[in-house]
């Protein structure tokens, strides 16, 4: 079983509250979402693994069991063309849980007219593969968001 921890601090809101139908409908996969604190911060790896996809606004880390976890920094943030995001690792890097992956500023994302809400999704998983999914309450980076069978 894999524990997936929060890549950032904020408030858990659950996927259904994400202002994007692809995420709120769990079309990408099950998981939860974080409404982040608004100060500049570093989004960290939610698991130990390898960075298999890396964009300024999103990254996927695959753990040793083959579980891919997507962290998406804000909604429609691809339209910002990387502005306000700083990559701290490279695709193919091995990272440890809690290691900084991207530096960003949720307040700047919001000021640019985008939602800073961050889905954290278990890729290629079924909803019943996840347990103890956190969908409300304050979250610190490194708090467990869900367990993946």
User: Which residue among 55, 57, 67, 72 is the active-site one?
Assistant: 72
Residue 142 annotated among the catalytic residues of the structure = no
Rounded to an integer, what distance in angstroms lies between the CA atom of residue 109 and that of residue 84?
Answer: 8
Question: Which residues fall within 8 angstroms of residue 29, CB to CB, at 6 or more apart?
Answer: 70, 121, 122, 123, 124, 125
Q: What is the CA radius of gyration of the chain?
A: 14
* Largest pairwise CA distance in the chain: 39
Catalytically active residues are: 72
């Amino acid at each position: 079983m894999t524990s997936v921890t929060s890549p950032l601090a904020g408030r858990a809101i659950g996927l259904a509250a994400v202002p994007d139908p692809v995420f709120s409908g769990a079309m990408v996969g099950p998981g939860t979402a974080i409404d982040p604190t608004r100060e500049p911060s570093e989004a960290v790896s939610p698991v130990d693994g390898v960075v298999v996809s890396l964009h300024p606004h999103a990254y996927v880390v695959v753990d040793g069991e083959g579980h891919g976890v997507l962290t998406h920094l804000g909604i429609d943030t691809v339209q910002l063309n990387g502005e306000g995001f700083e990559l701290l690792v490279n695709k193919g890097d091995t990272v440890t849980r809690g290691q900084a992956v991207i530096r960003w500023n949720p307040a700047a994302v919001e000021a640019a007219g985008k939602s800073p809400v961050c889905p954290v999704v278990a890729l290629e998983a079924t909803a019943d593969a996840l347990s103890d999914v956190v969908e409300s309450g304050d979250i610190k980076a490194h708090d467990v968001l869900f367990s993946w069978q």
